[in-house]
Amino acid sequence: MNIRSFQGMAPTLGDKVFVDPSAVVLGDVIIGADSSIWPLVVIRGDMHRIRIGHSCSIQDGSILHITHAGPYNPDGYPLIIGDHVTVGHQAMLHGCSIGDRVLVGMGAMIMDGAIVESDVVVGAGSLVPPGKTLASGFLYVGRPAKQVRALTKKEMSYFTYTAGNYVKLKDQHLQEDWA
């Protein structure tokens, strides 16, 4: 695995975290217990902090980055991800906040300063523009993302089901002999 420090800040991994050997995790990054980082993911906490909760799955090819502090944005934007979040393949999360029990669809983009509250589905290919807030309990799709409908009880239960499924899968990967 390619986990490295940057300017004295080293990533911190919680208990039983799986990071695929092809992924890159660097800088001021904390990944919570039982989370999984799959092939070709880039998590770059080089100019601000990234926090990923427990039981999260960051799927293949996703890019997680931040917005640095500077003259146009004095505080910058860290990237904060809650618990039981599944980030689909090739998603891009940039300086945003994601609540608990969120599904970010494949190829979705969530931009600087956006807030995705807990219990939300962001549909595949959607674009959440800078500064937008997605309210809890809804499905959002489109470019830009728009609220489509309330989530069903079955969809709401899927958040912890899929997170748990990826915890089991990453445990199987951790048992493999990578040597």
* Mean pLDDT to the nearest integer, 127-151: 98
Average per-residue pLDDT in the chain? Answer: 96
Number of domains in the chain: 1
In a domain, 178, yes or no: no
pTM over 0.85: yes
Q: Does residue 25 surpass a pLDDT of 90?
A: yes
Question: What average pLDDT score do residues 59-71 get?
Answer: 96
- Reply yes or no: is the peptide bond before residue 144 cis, omega within 30 of 0: yes
Instruction: Give the residue-averaged pLDDT of 95-103.
Output: 98
**116 is in which domain, residue-wise?**
2-173
Confidence (pLDDT) at 177: 72
Single out the residue of 33, 25, 70 nearest to residue 50, CA to CA: 25
Residue 9 included in any domain:
yes
- Residue 73, pLDDT > 50, answer yes
Reported as a pLDDT band with limits 50, 70 and 90, residue 178 is low
Cα-flanking dihedrals φ and ψ of residue 14, to 5°? -70, 180
Nearest residue to 106 via CA among 122, 117, 94? 122
Q: What is the pLDDT of residue 179?
A: 45
Residue 179 lies in a domain: no
The stretch 62-79 carries a mean pLDDT of 95
Q: Given this model, what pLDDT does residue 140 score? A: 98
C-alpha 34/C-alpha 15 separation (Å) is 6
- Residue 26 confidence class, pLDDT cut points 50, 70, 90: very high
Higher pLDDT, 170 or 178: 170
Average pLDDT of 98-118?
Answer: 98
For residues 36 and 33, what is the distance between their CA atoms, to the nearest angstrom?
A: 9
Q: Domain holding 15: CATH number?
A: 2.160.10.10
State the average pLDDT over residues 38-53.
Answer: 97
Work out the pLDDT band at 53, boundaries 50, 70, 90: very high
Residue 3 near residue 25 (C-beta atoms within 8 A): yes
Which of 93, 78, 81, 23 has the alpha carbon at shortest distance from 56?
Answer: 81
Neighbour-count burial for 102-121, b at 16+ CB within 10 Å, e otherwise: bbbbbbbbbbbbbbbbbbbb
In angstroms, rounded to a whole number, what is the distance separating the alpha carbons of residues 74 and 57? 31
